[in-house]
Amino acid sequence: MKITLITACYNSASVIRTAIESVLRQTWPEIEYLVVDGGSTDGTVEIIREYETSFAGRMRWVSERDKGFYDAINKGIQRATGEVVGILNADDVMADDHVIERVAEAFGKCVNALMPDCVSAEVREEKVCGDKSTRYSGKTAEYPPEYFDVLYGDIRFVANRTDIGLDALREEKTLRYYSSKYFRPWLMKFGYLPAHPTFYCRRQLFRKYGSYQTDYKIAADHELLIRFLVKRSIRSRYLPGVFVVMRKGGMSTRSVQSTLIINRENIRACRTNGIYTNQLMQLARYLFKIPGLVFRNGY
């Protein structure tokens, strides 16, 4: 099973090296790595080019002007050829060298439970995607309980260190732990959702239900998760373990203004997809952060 990883970046020279190395060191052999750069001028492109040959043809990249982060991600999705797609932000790293192996094995077991081994991957990808039943060998079969189209896990937040390498960054003290273990779709009205940096889904879902909405400044990932997991009721599965180590200071937590924008966009995302929420209900999402500050080794 081929997994496509997409990294969108712009003037990310201080962090992009660790992100790329964390993908390069993944033990799963069938990885397609797409880097979509927004026309950086700080040396980011030179770093990307430096690593290209190390991927032995598994890495493709482009550097051109875009309309922002979500537009860049959508470009990557359009170019993706993997059966499953995930996103790695330029300032994040894969938590260990076996993350994609675990993701691929989970999706592989899931598909094999539904489809005979004799059916090709192309047929599986076309037929098995977000519907309540699928057809193969002239028969219709309901999804078994173990089937899913979306997978997610946990993340660790660490200090915003740009002066250390990949191994040292992975060993940094956990400042906050975010677990997706207790996610339920109805909790989205309270601002609680699976950790988006750990979100992996079948590529065909984007074709069926759309990609990221580029008119959101910060919360397009929130809107897409609501659209997929609530509005479309796509089957999802939590895979225990840390997928990603994140440096603190991402675009959703940089300032008070960012907080106001994300709260406003979260409400819009819910209401657009038929979920009622309000400012008071959205404040509950800050309560969900408390366990991650207390139980930094997971909960």
3-state class (DSSP) for residue 150: strand
Q: How many C-alpha atoms does 103 have within 13 Å on its Cβ side?
A: 39
Sign of CA dihedral 184, 185, 191, 195: positive
Q: Which domains does the chain have, with CATH numbers?
A: 3-294 (3.90.550.10)
Look up residue 153 and give its two tokens.
Answer: 């896990």
* Helices within 117-194 (DSSP H only): 121-127, 166-170
Q: What is the pLDDT of residues 85-94, one digit of tens each?
A: 999 999 999 9
Mean pLDDT, the chain, whole residue set: 89
pLDDT at 120: 44
- Identity (one letter) of the amino acid at 42? D
When mean pLDDT is compared across 45-54, 122-131, 208-217, the lowest value belongs to 122-131
pLDDT at 299: 85
| Residue owning tokens 């309901």 | 142
Rg (CA), the chain: 19
| Cβ count within 10 A of residue 202 | 25
**The overall pTM is greater than 0.85:** yes
142-156 burial, b for 16+ CB within 10 Å, e for fewer? ebeeebbbbbbbbbb
**Extended strands (E) in the chain:** 3-9, 31-37, 59-63, 84-87, 92-94, 133-136, 139-142, 150-158, 176-178, 200-202, 236-247
When mean pLDDT is compared across 63-77, 159-173, 255-269, the lowest value belongs to 255-269
Q: What is the pLDDT of residues 143-177, one digit of tens each?
A: 666 789 999 999 999 999 999 999 999 999 999 99
pLDDT at 137: 37
The DSSP output letter for 229 is I
Contact (Cβ atoms closer than 8 angstroms) between residue 193 and residue 268: no
Give first-to-last CA distance, the chain, whole Å.
31
Q: Environment class of residue 291 by beta-carbon count within 10 Å: exposed (0-12), middle (13-18) or buried (19+)?
A: middle
In degrees, rounded to 5, the angle at the alpha carbon of residue 261 between the alpha carbons of residues 153 and 268 is 75
Sign of CA dihedral 202, 208, 212, 216: negative
**Residue 38 pLDDT exceeds 50:** yes
